Amino acid sequence: MSADTAVGPTAAAAADPAAVPGARRRRQGEVVLEVSNISLRFGGVKALTDISFDVREHEVRAIIGPNGAGKSSMLNCINGVYTPQEGRITFRGRTFDHMNSREVAEMGVARTFQNLALFKGMSVLDNIMSGRNLKMRTNILQQAFRNPWWSGAEREESEHREVVERIIDFLEIQAYRKTPVGRLPYGLQKRVDLGRALAMEPQVLLLDEPMAGMNVEEKQDMSRFILDVNDEYGTTIVLIEHDMGVVMDISDRVVVLDYGRKIGDGTPDEVRANPDVISAYLGTSH
């Protein structure tokens, strides 16, 4: 085989910037998600106006902006909770006028919410296990006819447990496996919430303010887990975050929203130097 037709592992490694030491933050693949001209209104409130941006495979893409800018609404359009009046969303080459929540989840998109939606009385283990629901193939009929000779359901259950245990190890929450989530400090509850999303083994992870309400140390821990997920599993991350320091540290590219409009889009350095972004932030408490 001549050099210019070389394919396979060697050529792939050479083309993969992640293979270059120190190039982690530039590991971006093809566009996986494209938001085109999305507008969303609630009665007279324009939550989003003509928003377009893309998300590349493996990147950490941040969405920032003052309170009420439309950040959560944007994630809700992507995962099918809200239906925009205008625009399209293209996911892995398929274009949708609006997304369907279940279909989005089946396509490998998982989500955490700004306000925790965990089962407070249930253990850490069971909460993370609840994230496996979509993966559970065993249907009710199979369960009903289960017999000692047909242990598919048990085998599947133990596979799910293994995945969940791996996530618990990964997030370093072994000590709290059996603890009801409501008894944990807030920072750990947010980690369990991340664990539940990871239980779906997502290709794209949408995180709505995963560090809100955390102290500095908890934020550092969460930043590390997010980067580890991104590094070790290659998961694409779309992240809403208020803390500009965190955003600048962990994201590859940043979209800036203000009053439902996009006012900036680029690398952290680019948006930090953008006059519109500076004035939006100087005019608020963030």
Ligand X SMILES: Nc1ncnc2c1ncn2[C@@H]1O[C@H](COP(=O)(O)OP(=O)(O)O)[C@@H](O)[C@H]1O
Binding footprint of ligand X on the chain (CB under 6 A): 42, 45, 47, 65, 67-73
For Mg ion, the binding residues (CB under 5 A) are 71-72, 114
For ligand X, which is the closer residue by CB, 130 or 274? 274
Kindly tell me the number of DSSP H helices and DSSP E strands found in the chain.
11, 10
Residue 92 · residue 203 · CB < 8 Å? no
Residue 264 · residue 232 · CB < 8 Å? no
For Mg ion, which is the closer residue by CB, 41 or 242? 242
For ligand X, which is the closer residue by CB, 70 or 108? 70
Per partner kind, with CB cut-offs from 5 to 8 A, the member of Mg ion, ligand X, none near residue 65 is: ligand X
Per partner kind, with CB cut-offs from 5 to 8 A, the member of ligand X, Mg ion, none near residue 42 is: ligand X
φ, ψ of residue 213 to 5 degrees: the values are 75, 5
Per partner kind, with CB cut-offs from 5 to 8 A, the member of Mg ion, ligand X, none near residue 112 is: none
Per partner kind, with CB cut-offs from 5 to 8 A, the member of ligand X, Mg ion, none near residue 198 is: none
Min. distance of Cβ 67 from Mg ion in angstroms? Answer: 7
Min. distance of Cβ 216 from Mg ion in angstroms? Answer: 22
For Mg ion, which is the closer residue by CB, 108 or 264? 264
φ, ψ of residue 44 to 5 degrees: the values are -85, -5
Per partner kind, with CB cut-offs from 5 to 8 A, the member of ligand X, Mg ion, none near residue 47 is: ligand X
For ligand X, which is the closer residue by CB, 10 or 67? 67
Question: For the stretch 16-39, what's the b/e string if a residue is b when 16 or more beta carbons lie within 10 angstroms of its beta carbon?
Answer: eebeeeeeebebbeeebbbbeebb
Min. distance of Cβ 109 from ligand X in angstroms? Answer: 18
φ, ψ of residue 108 to 5 degrees: the values are 100, 25
Per partner kind, with CB cut-offs from 5 to 8 A, the member of Mg ion, ligand X, none near residue 149 is: none
Min. distance of Cβ 270 from ligand X in angstroms? Answer: 21
Residue with tokens 């709290």: 176
Distance (Å, whole) CA 197 – CA 108 = 11
For ligand X, which is the closer residue by CB, 164 or 239? 239
Distance (Å, whole) CA 47 – CA 189 = 29
Residue 109 · residue 57 · CB < 8 Å? no
Min. distance of Cβ 257 from ligand X in angstroms? Answer: 6
Per partner kind, with CB cut-offs from 5 to 8 A, the member of ligand X, Mg ion, none near residue 145 is: none
DSSP result, 170-207: HTT-GGGTTSBGGGS-HHHHHHHHHHHHHTT--SEEEE
Residue 219 · residue 196 · CB < 8 Å? no
Min. distance of Cβ 89 from Mg ion in angstroms? Answer: 19
Min. distance of Cβ 221 from ligand X in angstroms? Answer: 23
